[in-house]
């Protein structure tokens, strides 16, 4: 009987889930509403039922664990803590409830850490011991792996590279500070950059026709590919800031590679070329030419389900080592 793990990605609106085998094949996937459940217990009940049904549909398989990726997910406690994107407030004992319902281990972490473990278990970081995954979505998340292990830190909140400082007097950030990296480099960040450029410069741009709320990364990418001066400048600026800050990150943990995942990273050379150029320019000389900047190996797949499901395989393998 084939062993499978469930990957669950809890978003503010919907929760995606799937069953995944050790090779990273997603055997079945689905989603349920997150926000239509008034209590967390109702949500867990429906989620457990959906997973149970999925196992039945796939057939001839054994569920050996559940991995959950969620904003503010804490690896150590298995809880979600004060998530701003969920209606259930306070500290939610997610792992405990899932374990009780389904009788298998449940591992929880935040989205970026799940992406890093997914990269290691199924993706382009297979066999690497030291690497970093940068997730470029609404914000900028990061998962850091050293000595073959995810770095969770003392309080379970390691890997907040998105909140290193670009400019202490810079753009306002959701975290309460100003000038954090993610206010410049993320889907929201590049949108802010485009608006800053449109405000400061006189050049024509197709982006002048689009409101801030409607502007997305794909529009900026398409405009840049057609030669739009403002869109191209926005990518150069994003790559410069990201490259400069990655040069600082690199000297901490000396990674073999940094993987860029999601959103902005799908713009390809538009973002990779300036990021690599500016990272190399700003790197301490002994690191130059040694650190690869690569696209995630989980792009365009059910990445968040894979990332979450990978937590279980990783957990079981670490248990075996101990």
Q: Which residue ranges make up the site for a second copy (CB under 8 A)?
A: 128-130, 144, 146-147, 149, 151-161, 163-165, 168, 175-177, 180, 244, 247-249, 251-256, 282, 284-287, 290, 321-322
CA distance 320 to 312: 12
CB of 95 to a second copy, least distance (A): 20
What phi and psi values does residue 271 have, to the nearest 5 degrees?
Answer: -105, -35
β-pair partners for 134 = 142, 260
CB of 89 to a second copy, least distance (A): 17
Q: Which is nearer to a second copy, 61 or 246 (CB)?
A: 246
Q: 80-110: string of b/e by CB count within 10 Å (b at 16+)?
A: beebeebebeeebbbbebbbebbebbbbbbb
Q: Which is nearer to a second copy, 60 or 320 (CB)?
A: 320
Counting other chains too, the contacts that 49-54 makes at CB distance below 8 Å and 24 or more residues apart are 50/17, 51/6, 51/8, 51/17, 51/19, 51/102, 52/102, 54/6, 54/17, 54/18, 54/19, 54/28, 54/30
CB of 25 to a second copy, least distance (A): 29
CB of 311 to a second copy, least distance (A): 16
CB of 292 to a second copy, least distance (A): 10
CB of 147 to a second copy, least distance (A): 5
Strand extents, DSSP E, 99-202: 106-109, 131-136, 140-146, 149-150
Q: Which is nearer to a second copy, 180 or 207 (CB)?
A: 180
Length of the chain: 322
Q: Which is nearer to a second copy, 26 or 294 (CB)?
A: 294
Token pair 């278990």 is found at: 121
Q: Which is nearer to a second copy, 1 or 154 (CB)?
A: 154
Q: Which is nearer to a second copy, 223 or 293 (CB)?
A: 293
CA distance 137 to 117: 18
């Amino acid at each position: 009987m084939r062993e499978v793990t469930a990957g669950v990605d809890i978003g503010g609106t919907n929760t995606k889930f799937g069953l995944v085998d050790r090779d990273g094949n997603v055997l079945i996937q689905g989603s349920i509403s997150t926000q239509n459940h008034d209590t967390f217990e109702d949500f867990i009940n429906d989620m457990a039922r959906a997973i149970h049904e999925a196992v039945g549909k796939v057939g001839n398989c054994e569920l050996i664990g559940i991995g959950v990726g969620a904003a503010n997910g804490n690896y150590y406690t298995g809880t979600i803590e004060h998530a701003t994107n969920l209606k259930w407030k306070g500290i939610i004992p997610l792992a405990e409830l899932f374990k009780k319902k389904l009788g298998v281990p449940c591992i929880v972490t935040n989205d970026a850490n799940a992406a890093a473990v997914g990269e290691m278990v199924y993706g382009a970081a297979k066999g690497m011991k030291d690497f970093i995954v940068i997730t470029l979505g609404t914000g900028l998340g990061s998962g850091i792996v050293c000595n073959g292990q995810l770095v969770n830190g003392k309080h379970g909140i390691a890997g907040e590279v998105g909140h290193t400082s670009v400019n202490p007097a810079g753009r306002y950030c959701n975290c309460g500070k100003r000038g954090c990296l993610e206010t410049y480099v993320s889907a929201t960040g590049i949108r802010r950059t485009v608006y800053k450029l449109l405000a400061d410069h006189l050049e024509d741009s197709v982006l002048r026709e689009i409101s801030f709320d409607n502007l997305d990364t794909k529009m900026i990418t398409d405009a840049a590919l057609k030669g739009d001066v403002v869109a191209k400048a926005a990518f150069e600026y994003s790559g410069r800031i990201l490259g400069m800050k990655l040069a600082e990150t690199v000297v901490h943990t000396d990674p073999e590679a940094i993987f860029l995942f999601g959103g902005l990273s799908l713009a390809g050379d538009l973002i990779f070329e300036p990021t690599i150029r500016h990272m190399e320019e700003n790197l301490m000389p002994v690191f130059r030419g040694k650190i690869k900047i690569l696209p995630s190996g989980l792009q365009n797949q059910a990445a968040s389900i894979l990332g979450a499901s990978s937590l279980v395989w990783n957990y079981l393998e670490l248990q075996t080592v101990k």
